[in-house]
Structure 1
Amino acid sequence: MNEPEERESNRKLLGKLAVVAVMMFGFGYALIPVYRHLCEVLGLNQLTQKDGTVAAPTNTQIDKSRSITVELDSNVQGTLRFRPTQRSVTVHPGEMATVVYEVVNSQSRPVTAQAIPSYAPQSATPHFKKVECFCFRQETLQANQAKQMPVVFYLDPALPKEVKTITLSYTFIEIGGLDKSAAAAGGERVAQ
């Protein structure tokens, strides 16, 4: 192929590629109204009702016929102060709830601790679903630091019907032991 034929061939190819690019853009642009119309016809992803008002999404997994009281308890092993900010919360099975625990390190040194949960009655344990919890990780508090830590949870709707009250208890355990040099100097604990 000589040079003028090659240029002509390249020009034709460039023209074809430009047409393809414009068609792809047009197809992608046309998909938006087609998608909206398809969702409207099928009733999918529909937040706007026929009268133009916005429908708030609802959680259909909530069992509003039942109310469960979750009592909150705390224990601590070590030098920290640890407590729930409220004594109880009432929730429906399937409903998300958030409770907050507060921990205070009144020591003049950092302290690392881990929370261990327990539930009563025991039959509630597999039905208590935590989405976020400080018990998932160790917590380090700096000297004289206070921290509020949330627990986000829901109760599985399969919770036995006879369960009306659940006690959620956390034991906050200081991690570490006595450092030998610190023990001789005054018995202070240090995190290992």
Structure 2
Amino acid sequence: MQTQSNKKLLVRLCGFVLAMFAFGFALVPLYDVFCDLTGINGRSVQRADINTQTLVDTSRVIRVEFVTFDKTGQPSEFIARAPSVEVHPGEMKNVSFHVTNPLNEAVSVRAIPSVSPGQGSLYLNKTECFCFNQQALAANETTEFKLRFFVDKALPEEIKVLTLAYTLYPISEQTLANAL
């Protein structure tokens, strides 16, 4: 009788452990979805379906500054071609980022964006961004990462400057294993 109840307890505990393990895996994509929907953590809401050409507010000018950080641990180069651009709310802008892989081996990197002030992230809409996916760089490759964005004309009047910061992280098999 005691062994049977111990077996039931063991099965329940193992089920609980598996459920917690699955929940841990589900947290990352759930957090990403939550951040995308709310704009929290500097992630901007992506609304590429908006026809921005009819929404340009030429009476205002917003300066969007670009800051880059390289956390790859290598002497690579990751900089915005222009440190800032001026944009009318609703106007589509294209920006390039210069990236160099100085290593004699291919690497994969991921750029994580952050917008300041945080409230401004709700109004910075990226329609095309290298940060959407991990990027592969061949050995000794120099390339351009592209960003296409617009600032929603509903941006509060008191916000005149937005700072878009990208931090470049290496993605390796070990990094992916640790994330899982």
* TM-score over 0.5 for the pair: yes
Equivalence for 2:153: 157
Match of 2:104 among 95, 104, 108: 108
Q: Does 1:71 align with 2:65?
A: yes
Is 1:118 matched up with 2:114?
yes
C-alpha distance in structure 1 between counterparts of 2:65 and 2:59, whole Å: 20
Q: Output the CA distance in 2 between the equivalents of 1:107 and 1:149.
A: 18
CA distance in 2, matches of 1:123, 1:135: 20
Give deviations 1:30-68, integer Å, cap 9, x for gaps: xxxxxxxxxxxxxxxxxxxxxxxxxxxx93310111000
**Structure 1 letter corresponding to 2:92:** M
TM value normalised by structure 2: 0.65
Q: What aligned pairs does 1:6-155 form with structure 2 within 5 A after superposition?
A: 59-78=53-72, 79=74, 80-155=76-151
- RMSD (CA atoms): 1.7
**Offset at 1:94?**
0.3
Query: Residue deviations 1:145-189, cap 9 Å, x none?
Result: 01101100000111111000000110010112679xxxxxxxxxx
Gaps of 5+ in 1: 1-57, 180-192
Q: Distance in 1 between matches of 2:53 and 2:171?
A: 40
Runs of 4+ in 1 over 6 A off after TM superposition: none
**Which fold has the larger relative contact order, with Cα–Cα distance below 8 Å and residues 6 or more apart in sequence?**
2
Residue identity over aligned pairs, in percent, reads 39
The separation in 2 between residues aligned to 1:59 and 1:140, in whole angstroms, is: 33
TM-score (norm 1): 0.61
